[in-house]
Structure 1
Amino acid sequence: MNVKDLFKNKKVLSGVIAVVLVASVAGGKVYADNQKAQEQERIAKIKKEQLAKRDQLKNDAEKAVNDLFEKAIIDNEDDEKIAIKNDLKSDSVEKVKEKYFVVKSKDAWQININNMIENAENQLKQIDTAEKAVEQVYKEKVLNTDQKKYDTAKKEVDKIKNAKAKKELSDKLAKVKSDIDKKNKEKEDKKKETEKASKEAEVKEVSETVVKTNDVTEQQVVDATGQQIDQAQQQTPQAGQETGYYEPQTPATDNGAGTNQNVAPTAPANNGNTGGTQTPAPPAPEPTPEPTQPVGPPAGWITPPFPIGSAELGGWIFDNGFSGYDSSDGYIRPY
């Protein structure tokens, strides 16, 4: 059957066309489904690879950050107390930061990674600050024993978390502290010696003053006593010396015989007759009466230069090195 015959037979031709169209549509649908499935598979594969890469990146980041510290710090409740590992260099921290630090991230895991990297940086900075402070007082040997500089350095060293770095700097400060203590002890010993010498000089001066005062006072007492003795001696009458004492005479009595027995005989009147005339003997001197009380103060007592009980006398007593006095009959005895 040729084409012309086919066109003549319309029914047959319509059937053929329908079959062709159905086959074409069915094939296209199969192809589309295959393409969609392949795309979904490709996307799923990409997502899986991305997730794998992300997980690997997280693992690498956590390992790198943990390697900066003495023990694992990620997800550790004591992360603020964990020290960086011994002899950690700033270059190592910088490399980790360049690779795993993400600026202004809102992801909780990434924020934690950033914080741990900054923690390592801050610990290194603190060690550097402490080293510079220690160098102000010690560098191969003790350079300065200034207490303030030592205190500043010690304060910075105490902030270090790494035990090795902290001990190395603390050992240097211990030498500085030893010199400071030695210097302070020398100052204290010198101060004590100066105070002791000053007290000894003061005691010596006081002792010498007391001795001089006692000597002066004793001399004053001796002089005053001598003066009183001289006065007493001057007031004591000597034999044959007029004392001014008058003993009253017993009045004359008449015994009935017309004569006064108590009247001494008088010399007869001289009428120019010198013959047989006798001169009566002078009367014997009357004895000196004993004084009713001693003249002058007793030994050790003096006449006060000021009234007894007066403030002037009290001042005189203390000025002469005494602490008080006894008084009796107008005299005093300093003690």
Structure 2
Amino acid sequence: MKKLSKKQLGLIVVVALIGVGGSIVYTSSQNQVKAQQEQVDKQANKFATLGKEVKGLFDEKKPSFLSDNTTKEKIEGLNKRYQKLSKEVDGAIDTKKVKADKYLEHSSACKNDLEQAQLKMESQTAVNKLFQEKDKKGVLHGTTVVKDRAIGDEVTEKSVKETKTVYGYEKPKNDFEKAVDDLIKEAEAQIGQQTKAKKAVEQVYKDGKVVSNDNKLYDTAKAETDKIKNEEAKKALIDQLDKVKADIDKQAAEEKAKAEETTKSQSEAANAQANNSNVAQPSENQGSTGTEAAPVENGYIGNGGSYVAPETPTNGGYTPPASNGGSTGGGSTPAPQAPSQPSNGGGGRGEMTQDDLNQASKDAANADWSDFFPK
């Protein structure tokens, strides 16, 4: 066998060393890939476990809502665990050498769910701040949505607008987003009603005083105020309207008293006029006193029912004789003399009885009065 030269032996040694080195490098590289794969698989399992807890943040039947027991602190705790798991993998993962599908799938799912839970919690918290809290629960908790609760005392048009800008949805995609959108609209409606009521009240009460006591304006303001759900806001306006109502009632009472006084005066005047019309007035032919009876022709006069004979003519007529059969001239058959004084009939009171009156009437009817009147 031909001996190899020193040069050839050197080359062989170098090649051998290169082969051994390459083998060592390859083996080391393979070991590194294997170790990283094991680490990735281990982390994938951890993310899968964490992912199940993160899923528990959402309602099982309506996953678009957070579960009733989800809190801000619980979300923050799960997020810290996620961040810690993400840092446990050494260096960047070479997806060409390591199978990282499960790792990426579970870690990505955890990250996405945590972000969604955090965003929903922020939206839920912001919306709940617009309304009054009751039993330590807001209008949106879990899948429960309360739409008829009053807005908070400190809520303003500005705060509602800011909440809508940050957390509102122009086109809700699920039940949770629709609930948030509906609650923001409810807050807007209540703010709008308060503004409308305030403007109506200002028509009757402004700058600390009553400016109008018009009943129609008051009724409108009262009706709009009654629609306010926030009791504190309502009470502030009711207090102002009470002052307006007191002024209206005062004016009504004054007008009523005035109307009653006018009615009373008119009634008294009417009664006085009626009483005056019932008093007998003296006739034109009566004497100076109310007891004198004015003379009448051929008849009776009302005082005591006494009869007065007709006056005799002054120009030559017949003068009844003083006694039956007498005559003072003219030669005619005398007519019976009518009494010139009241008879003593009627019980001696100077009044004629009914019988006396009847007899006198009969005598006058049968007498011949032809010569009594001048021809």
Report the Cα distance in structure 2 between the residues aligned to 1:122 and 1:246, rounded to whole angstroms. 115
Superposed displacement of residue 191, structure 1? 0.7
Superposed displacement of residue 60, structure 1? 1.3
Superposed displacement of residue 142, structure 1? 0.7
Task: Sort the Cα spacing of 1:93 and 1:177 in 2 relative to 1 into closer, same or farther, 3 A.
Answer: same
Report if aligned partners of 2:151, 2:190 keep a CA contact under 8 Å in 1: yes
Does residue 85 (structure 1) correspond to residue 85 (structure 2)? The answer is no
Does residue 46 (structure 1) correspond to residue 138 (structure 2)? The answer is no
Superposed displacement of residue 217, structure 1? 7.5
Report if aligned partners of 2:147, 2:183 keep a CA contact under 8 Å in 1: no
| Correspondent of 2:278 among 199, 207, 210 | 210
Amino acid at match of 2:111: E
Report the Cα distance in structure 2 between the residues aligned to 1:246 and 1:70, rounded to whole angstroms. 121
Computing the radius of gyration from Cα coordinates, the structure with the larger value is: 1
Report if aligned partners of 1:68, 1:85 keep a CA contact under 8 Å in 2: yes
- Which residue is equivalent to 2:77? none
1:265-276 matches, cutoff 5 A: none
Alpha-carbon displacement from aligned partner over 1:160-195 (angstroms, at most 9, x marks no partner): 000101000000000000000000111111111111
Report the Cα distance in structure 2 between the residues aligned to 1:246 and 1:59, rounded to whole angstroms. 137
* % identical aligned pairs: 33
Q: Which moved more, 1:118-127 or 1:90-99?
A: 90-99
Report if aligned partners of 1:84, 1:123 keep a CA contact under 8 Å in 2: yes
Amino acid at match of 1:239: A
Superposed displacement of residue 244, structure 1? 3.8
| Correspondent of 2:249 among 177, 181, 187 | 181
Report the Cα distance in structure 2 between the residues aligned to 1:52 and 1:292, rounded to whole angstroms. 133
Does residue 233 (structure 1) correspond to residue 299 (structure 2)? The answer is no
Superposed displacement of residue 50, structure 1? 0.8
Task: Sort the Cα spacing of 1:100 and 1:144 in 2 relative to 1 into closer, same or farther, 3 A.
Answer: same
Task: Sort the Cα spacing of 1:37 and 1:134 in 2 relative to 1 into closer, same or farther, 3 A.
Answer: same
Alpha-carbon displacement from aligned partner over 1:233-274 (angstroms, at most 9, x marks no partner): 238945155494589xxxxxxxxxxxxxxxxxxxxxxxxxxx
Alpha-carbon displacement from aligned partner over 1:118-171 (angstroms, at most 9, x marks no partner): 111111111111111111111111111111111111111101000101000000
- Which residue is equivalent to 1:133? 200
1:132 counterpart SS class: helix
Report the Cα distance in structure 1 between the residues aligned to 2:112 and 2:308, rounded to whole angstroms. 136
Task: Sort the Cα spacing of 1:37 and 1:210 in 2 relative to 1 into closer, same or farther, 3 A.
Answer: farther
Q: Which moved more, 1:81-90 or 1:226-235?
A: 226-235
Report the Cα distance in structure 2 between the residues aligned to 1:246 and 1:197, rounded to whole angstroms. 64
Report the Cα distance in structure 1 between the residues aligned to 2:162 and 2:295, rounded to whole angstroms. 109
Q: Which moved more, 1:159-168 or 1:82-91?
A: 82-91
- Which residue is equivalent to 1:24? none
Report the Cα distance in structure 2 between the residues aligned to 1:128 and 1:291, rounded to whole angstroms. 97
Task: Sort the Cα spacing of 1:218 and 1:61 in 2 relative to 1 into closer, same or farther, 3 A.
Answer: farther
| Correspondent of 2:226 among 142, 158, 171 | 158
Superposed displacement of residue 77, structure 1? 7.0
Amino acid at match of 1:149: L
Report the Cα distance in structure 2 between the residues aligned to 1:155 and 1:125, rounded to whole angstroms. 15
- Which residue is equivalent to 1:106? 173
| Correspondent of 1:201 among 246, 265, 269 | 269
Report if aligned partners of 1:137, 1:176 keep a CA contact under 8 Å in 2: yes
State the Cα RMSD in Å: 3.6
Report if aligned partners of 1:154, 1:173 keep a CA contact under 8 Å in 2: yes
- Which residue is equivalent to 2:140? 74
Report if aligned partners of 1:232, 1:295 keep a CA contact under 8 Å in 2: no
Does residue 192 (structure 1) correspond to residue 275 (structure 2)? The answer is no
1:136-151 matches, cutoff 5 A: 136-139=203-206, 140-151=208-219
Extract unaligned runs of 5+ from structure 1.
1-26, 248-289, 297-335
Report the Cα distance in structure 2 between the residues aligned to 1:85 and 1:244, rounded to whole angstroms. 125
Does residue 57 (structure 1) correspond to residue 119 (structure 2)? The answer is yes
Amino acid at match of 2:262: T
Task: Sort the Cα spacing of 1:53 and 1:77 in 2 relative to 1 into closer, same or farther, 3 A.
Answer: closer
Superposed displacement of residue 40, structure 1? 3.3
- Which residue is equivalent to 1:37? 99
2:205 counterpart SS class: coil
Report if aligned partners of 2:128, 2:139 keep a CA contact under 8 Å in 1: yes
Task: Sort the Cα spacing of 1:77 and 1:216 in 2 relative to 1 into closer, same or farther, 3 A.
Answer: farther
Report the Cα distance in structure 2 between the residues aligned to 1:67 and 1:164, rounded to whole angstroms. 17
1:248-327 matches, cutoff 5 A: 293-295=359-361
2:140 counterpart SS class: coil
Task: Sort the Cα spacing of 1:205 and 1:166 in 2 relative to 1 into closer, same or farther, 3 A.
Answer: same
TM-score scaled by structure 2? Answer: 0.52
Task: Sort the Cα spacing of 1:235 and 1:168 in 2 relative to 1 into closer, same or farther, 3 A.
Answer: same
How many residues get paired?
225
